Amino acid sequence: MDREEVRKRAREKAEELVGKMTLEEKAGQLRYNAPPVKRLGIPAYNWWNEALHGVARAGQATVFPQAIGMAASFDTELMEKVGDAVATEGRAKYNAYTAMEDRDIYKGLTFWAPNVNIFRDPRWGRGHETYGEDPYLTGRMGVAYVKGMQGDGETMKAAACAKHFAVHSGPEGLRHEFDAVVSKKDMGETYLPAFEALVKEAGVEAVMGAYNRTNGEPCCGSRTLIQEILRGKWGFMGHVVSDCWAIRDFHEHHMVTSTPKESAAMAINAGCDLNCGVTYLHILGAYEDGTVSEETITEAAVRLFTTRYLLGLFEGSEFDGIPYEKVECREHLMLAKKAAAESFVLLKNDGILPLKKEKIRTVGVIGPNANSRAALVGNYHGTASDFVTVQEGLMRYLGEEVRVLTSAGCHLFREKTESLALVHDRLAEAKIVAENSDVVILCLGLDETLEGEEGDTGNSYASGDKTDLSLPKSQELLMEALAETGTPVVLCMMAGSDLDLSYAARHFPAILQVWYPGGQGGTAVAETLFGDISPSGKLPVTFYETIEELPEFTDYSMKGRTYRYMEGKAQYPFGYGLTYGKVSVEGAEIVKLEDRENGSSYGVRVRMKNVGSTAVHEVLQAYVKKEESVYDSLHPSLCAFTRVFLDGGAEKETVLEIPRSAFTVVNEEGERIPGGNRYRFYIGFSQPDERSVELMGQKPAEVILEQDKE
């Protein structure tokens, strides 16, 4: 049975059930904490659950790397497996909880993930929840995660939710009152494509609105976004949920309504079915005033019960037997370690990596994030039963063969670690450790207290956002102190966004970006540093030289932003990352394709060779420039990618399929139109920009496709 027929049957059952409810009962079901309707045998259901990178906020679960790290893998197959694992654990937990009649928050099967907003500015504190700055990469990773989570059977394994719709990426401190003004071109080219892909390709079951306004309309009450685009143009059939307490912002902060009743009416009439918050307690009052019809309330309830039927919550499903033993099982822990390893991006290596255990007597492990669990998990995380920090991972890996000395070196951001001590109270210890070590593994960066969501973070000054690209002063002083010792330092940067690495690049022989690598992160770091695994991740965001080259944070125009429109030279570019080997593209040619499910008509046949002796995974990337169109982005844009594996000295051939979207552009009216007849493709392991070529030591291959003019 196809997806449309399955939904049709589920909706028919929902209509029949909702038809038996009173108006009051229907209205009550539009809240995230829906009460039971005992006379109809309907149990309570809490719609609010989180699964950004593993089942979150409900106790034990496998903690995968934060989303930005998984994006760095450029691995859609991995993302689908992670989504499936998350859904499996969600089902296992749901089965166990409901058997005990525990229907609390964070215990349902409707997960408010993934976050497919575009990470357009490195200051945004929630950027690490996303898949980066590129619409194509974000769409591919998001589609894979949703497919893995929801499955392809008649019953959904779990329900995913694309958030935050739309045009949402800070500032956090203004989000409740902010109006994101954006052109039709930027909307259609940058901010909406990932959402469209999740709706049309992955059949995502839910879409969550954003806190802000977009072009004057509150997103959770926007007829333009919800009715015209989401349900109209894209044909979305699932349900829409507000961000939490966002509808209250209509009258308290956006000032587009005067009362909660007006706000509730505005949201539901625009098509927002479910309220995360309490404003829909006023729905019946709005009905009595004549501003909301019973038909509108009924339709919202039907959509919500359609989802519950699709999940098999009333009639049972093949997933009801998933046992609790699946939670954080061995298979999922190995998948989490694999995801972490694939996420690491090697930014610099002067030959020190991989380290050789037999040549080292003592390793110094230094830094405030070296033994930090918070630096493993990012935000919206579950609780691992075994958090392996970098320090623990190295000690386990090295065993008794190599001595490990440790020092925090400094507080994450304060000037001392002990309240009664003098400032910089751990610097001397760090220098002692370095001077007594053959090599130092330095773990710096941030955690969710320094970059995160407004209200969920201790960074009250910027409400979760960053004000600049600098590390905290305490960490800068630690870097300088270690550089003076002369001991070689390998920097492991644990953060979810761009930080200025210029000092480290000048003074340290290697830099490994490890993001927030999840519960198994420390194990993966150790195996990577010592060469059991070759790093293979690529940056899903641009690392800028300075914040000064960016437009104002509140400016949502794409001019000057991300690799597609930046005007300066990146410190480390989008799509860049080294391995322990070197793979070259030996040749590339355009080929015609037929009968591809994704609509591709063309591909590029690529011949590659591993010119080194180390077996490596690499990410083959294709970028396109539409040479005849004035509407194309400033620089070539990513249009295809795939991971490849080559043994040392091996040669390989693959065909990289080019999607139809690569041959289109978005005009000033927001319309997607053909991009002309001449297309230049760049095929390699990075962007074709000057900085990437400088860092990689090789240029991507170029091929030109000229289509026949009609």
- Known catalytic residue at 451: yes
Query: 468-485: b or e for each residue (b if 16 or more CB lie within 10 Å)?
Result: ebebbebbebbbebbbeb
657 has which bridge partners? 603
Amino acid at 612: G
Q: How many CB atoms lie within 10 A of CB 370?
A: 25
Predicted confidence at residue 339, as pLDDT, reads 98
- Give CA–CA dist 613/581, Å, rounded: 7
pLDDT of 460 higher than 80: no
Average pLDDT over residues 310-319: 97
- Give CA–CA dist 342/83, Å, rounded: 16
Q: What is the pLDDT of residues 167-208, one digit of tens each?
A: 999 999 999 999 999 999 999 999 999 999 999 999 999 999
- Give CA–CA dist 150/173, Å, rounded: 33
Average pLDDT over residues 386-409: 97
Residues 6 or more apart whose CB falls under 8 angstroms from that of 499 comprise 445, 446, 469, 470, 471, 493, 543
The answer, yes or no, to whether the previous bond of 164 is cis (omega within 30 of 0) is yes
Kindly give the residue spans of alpha helices, DSSP state H, lying in 56-203.
67-72, 76-99, 135-150, 184-186, 193-200
Q: What is the pLDDT of residues 146-168, one digit of tens each?
A: 999 999 999 999 999 999 999 99
Residues 6 or more apart whose CB falls under 8 angstroms from that of 155 comprise 310, 311, 312, 317, 318, 319
Give yes or no for a contact between 534 and 580, defined as CB atoms under 8 angstroms apart: yes
Give yes or no for a contact between 364 and 390, defined as CB atoms under 8 angstroms apart: no
Q: For residue 349, which of 698, 699, 695, 2 has the smallest C-alpha distance?
A: 695
Confidence of residue 603 (pLDDT cuts 50, 70, 90): very high
Residues 6 or more apart whose CB falls under 8 angstroms from that of 610 comprise 581, 582, 583, 616, 646, 647, 648, 649, 650, 651
Amino acid at 131: Y
| CA dihedral for 541, 547, 551, 556, sign (positive or negative) | positive
Predicted confidence at residue 461, as pLDDT, reads 65
pLDDT of 218 higher than 70: yes
Average pLDDT over residues 346-351: 98
Predicted confidence at residue 600, as pLDDT, reads 72
- Give CA–CA dist 279/572, Å, rounded: 45
Residues 6 or more apart whose CB falls under 8 angstroms from that of 209 comprise 164, 165, 218, 219, 220, 221, 222, 225, 226, 240, 241, 242, 243, 246, 272
Give yes or no for a contact between 541 and 497, defined as CB atoms under 8 angstroms apart: yes
Q: Encoding tokens for residue 138?
A: 């974000």
| CA dihedral for 46, 320, 85, 160, sign (positive or negative) | negative
Predicted confidence at residue 37, as pLDDT, reads 98
- Give CA–CA dist 29/241, Å, rounded: 12
Predicted confidence at residue 709, as pLDDT, reads 56
DSSP conformational letter for 110: B
Q: How high does pLDDT run on average in the chain? A: 97
Average pLDDT over residues 610-635: 97
Output the CA torsion 426→432→437→438 (10° steps).
Answer: 110
Helices vs. strands in the chain: H and E counts, helices first: 20, 23
The answer, yes or no, to whether the previous bond of 517 is cis (omega within 30 of 0) is no
Indicate which residue of 84, 243, 454, 527 is catalytic.
Answer: 243
- Give CA–CA dist 11/161, Å, rounded: 19
Predicted confidence at residue 710, as pLDDT, reads 45
Q: For residue 449, which of 437, 463, 470, 469 has the smallest C-alpha distance?
A: 463
Give yes or no for a contact between 443 and 390, defined as CB atoms under 8 angstroms apart: yes
Q: What is the pLDDT of residues 125-154, one digit of tens each?
A: 999 999 999 999 999 999 999 999 999 999
Q: Where are the beta strands (DSSP E) in 188-304?
A: 206-209, 213-214, 217-218, 239-241
* Furthest-apart CA atoms within the chain: distance in Å: 79
Confidence of residue 456 (pLDDT cuts 50, 70, 90): confident
pLDDT of 692 higher than 90: yes
Confidence of residue 31 (pLDDT cuts 50, 70, 90): very high
Residues 6 or more apart whose CB falls under 8 angstroms from that of 193 comprise 135, 136, 138, 139, 661
Indicate which residue of 84, 134, 451, 657 is catalytic.
Answer: 451
Could you give the strand order of the β-sheet that contains 602-610, starting from the edge strand earlier in sequence? Answer: 583-592, 602-610, 651-658
Q: Encoding tokens for residue 358?
A: 């037999």
Confidence of residue 598 (pLDDT cuts 50, 70, 90): low
First to last CA, the chain: 40
Give yes or no for a contact between 286 and 294, defined as CB atoms under 8 angstroms apart: no
Give yes or no for a contact between 173 and 119, defined as CB atoms under 8 angstroms apart: no
Q: What is the DSSP string of 560-629?
A: T-HHHH--S--SB-TT--B-SS-EEEEEEEEEE--S-TT---EEEEEEEEE-SSS-EEEEEEEEEEETT-
* SS3 per-residue string spanning 25-88: HHHHCCECEECCEHHHCECCEECCEECCCCCECCCECCCCCCHHHHHHCCCHHHHHHHHHHHHH
Q: Encoding tokens for residue 698?
A: 């090789």
DSSP conformational letter for 8: H
pLDDT of 234 higher than 60: yes
Q: Any idea which of 2-6, 468-472, 630-634 has the lowest mean pLDDT?
A: 2-6
Q: What are phi and psi of 432, to 5 degrees?
A: -60, -45
Average pLDDT over residues 45-55: 98
Collapsed DSSP state (helix, strand, coil) of residue 473: helix
- Known catalytic residue at 480: no
Q: Provide the phi-psi class of 411: left if phi over 0, else alpha when psi is between -120 and 50, else beta.
A: beta
Q: Encoding tokens for residue 416?
A: 């001392």
Give yes or no for a contact between 396 and 378, defined as CB atoms under 8 angstroms apart: no
Alpha carbon distances (Å) from 302 to 8, 19, 454, 553, 579: 12, 9, 33, 40, 52
Confidence of residue 644 (pLDDT cuts 50, 70, 90): very high
Amino acid at 489: V
Residue whose pair of structure tokens reads 């809240």 in the numeric block = 31
Average pLDDT over residues 573-593: 97
Q: Which domains does the chain have, with CATH numbers?
A: 3-325 (3.20.20.300), 344-541 (3.40.50.1700), 583-706 (2.60.40.10)
Confidence of residue 455 (pLDDT cuts 50, 70, 90): confident
Tallying the residues shown for the chain, one arrives at 710
